[in-house]
Amino acid sequence: MSNSLRHIELGAMPTDWQQVVEVARHGASLSLSSVAWERIAAARQAVEEIASSDTPHYGINTGLGALCDVVLERHELQRLSHHTLMSHACGVGAPLRTEQVRAILCCAVINYSHGYSGISPTLVEGLLQLLNEGITPVVPSRGSVGYLTHMAHIGLTLIGHGEVEFRSQRMPAKQALDAIGMAPLCLGPKDGLSLVNGTPAMTGLACLTLDDTARLAAWADVIGAMSFEALGGQQDALLPEVTRLKRHEGVQHAGDNLRRLLQGSRRLARCRGQHLQDALSLRAMPQVHGACRDQFDHAVRQINHELDSATDNPLVITAADGYRVVSQANPHGASVAMACDLLAIAVCEWSSISERRAYRLVTPQASRLPPFLTAESGVKSGMMIAQYSAASLVADNKRLAQPAVTDNFLTSGLQEDHLSLGESAALKLDQALDNAFQVLAIEYLLAAQAFDLIDDRDVASGTELAWRTLRAAIPFYAEEHALHLDLQAACDLLRDASRQAPFIELAPHLYPGKR
């Protein structure tokens, strides 16, 4: 699984979301610096000493949650950790994708590397071995209120329980561990709690959505520029003298992208003055796409801060006389959950305005293009129903844009009475992104079809490149095969990260995740 060309060492400097994506999505191998291992070992030594004392310390020598007042004997602490994994591994539903589990694994290692958890170094080594050997625990996707369940299923793998994906097969965890010569690990004081606690699950899932959102942002500008040109948009609305008066950085970047992509269009020059004002779905692209880009930037800051945070409970922190164990609420994932919820609204907006442009492309009352983008309307329906599909997906995204973080429940007696639902926020954002890529793929097909049908395809070099990129993979649609095949092919093209490089050369601000 690991990519020998890319190795990431964590622990000496703050981590960013793109490093998590390198490990989770692109197979980079992972290790920790000597400084990180020293931090982990020091905190673990403190836990071992505290575990032998008679003074109650939450999560180390007591029960968990509402059972925090139950003090346990030293010989019971290994059982506590074991039973914690067994009882907390109660996820349900379809399993997470391999890349999602790897992102969670990576973020768990990052969390422990800060040296405030007190987890056994052997468990951190075990998580690294799972990542680098390509053993992926099977983790049910649903059933988390913000922590606990996803990491509990991952923890089971370390002790030889549960199931994993390994070498393209699903098998018992013990079988995969045997195959790489790794013995199931023994849990000590606090190990079970450290494995299930914190925000690694929601943070790992969020890192992958940032990668997808950055790609979506770039394609939205490229495809939107094609639609603007096909529909004969009035370029004055995109002038720098206009967009610079809107002070938001995202608006500046989106406006610059559109101007660069449309530069040199003789078609738009001929269309100038044909009508006074375009529909908002065309003239408001800098403002709408830009506002969405600003939410991406906000989410990046929140996720990077979370990666640089210690999110265990309790935390083992340095004190004047050694170490203190502090029970607190750093595992509460409000920051990540809100970032994902806000980004889901932005993704909905990207898809919503795309669908509006798609509607104008196929609607004869809204353009001078052939009705429904076919030269044989009547006998043929052209691209009419593709816009229906886009409308359905946007309707789904409006529902997915409802915030998860504002929901709440009582759990664990009365101890945990305010929850983040951060993993729910990240997972619904993931679904919204999938819908949005499909919507943009539909607009892309429609805009390319329009380019084929206009008489004066004297278009800009940027939009010509976009048209040629699509046509190299998907021919003009003549209704000789089911349209869904083209929709999927176009969506696959948008998901291919390598496709954006030539566009970024034309418009440097196109990809917002660029380092």
Write out pLDDT tens, residues 275-297: 989 999 999 999 999 999 999 99
Mean pLDDT of 178-191: 96
The pLDDT value given to residue 379:
80
Domain boundaries in the chain? 7-197, 206-506
Does the reported pTM lie above 0.85?
yes
Mean pLDDT of the chain: 93
Answer yes or no: is pLDDT of 325 > 70. Answer: yes
Stretch 360-374: mean pLDDT: 90
What sign for the dihedral angle of Cα 167, 169, 170, 171? negative
The confidence score (pLDDT) of residue 240 equals: 96
Mean pLDDT of 137-165: 95
User: What whole-number distance in Å separates Cα of residue 513 and Cα of residue 515?
Assistant: 6
Q: Is the peptide bond before 331 cis (omega within 30 degrees of 0)?
A: no
State the pLDDT at residue 221: 98
Residues 414-436 as b/e (b if ≥16 CB within 10 A, e otherwise) read eebeebbbbbbbbbbbbebbbbb
- CA-wise closest residue to 11 among 48, 37, 29, 43: 37
In this prediction, what percent of the chain has a pLDDT beyond 90? 79
All residues at 6 or more sequence positions from 173 whose CB lies less than 8 Å from its CB, including other chains = 135, 137, 156, 157, 160, 161, 162, 163, 164
Is pLDDT at 515 greater than 70 in this prediction? no
3-state secondary structure of 6: strand
Using alpha carbons only, give the angle 435, 253, 230 rounded to the nearest 5 degrees.
60
Q: Is 141 helix (H, G, I), strand (E, B) or coil?
A: strand
More confident position, 63 or 288: 288
Pick from 88, 82, 103, 80: which is nearest to 159 by CA?
82
pLDDT at residue number 514: 72
Mean pLDDT of 153-171: 97
CATH class of the domain whose range is 206-506: mainly alpha
- The larger pLDDT score, comparing residue 472 to residue 12, is at 472
Question: What's the pLDDT score for residue 53?
Answer: 79
pLDDT per residue as tens digits for the range 2-49:
444 699 999 989 999 999 999 999 999 999 999 999 999 999 999 998
Tokens 């968990």 belong to which residue? 64
Residues in the chain: 515
Chain segment 193-211, per-residue pLDDT in tens: 999 999 999 999 999 999 9
User: How do strand 136-137 and strand 163-166 relate by DSSP bridges?
Assistant: antiparallel
pLDDT, residue 1, reads: 45
* 7-197 CATH: 1.10.275.10
User: Per the structure block, which two tokens stand in for 83?
Assistant: 């039973």
What the block records as the tokens of 84 is 């914690």
502 — pLDDT class (breaks 50, 70, 90): very high
- Residue 381: is its pLDDT beyond 90? no
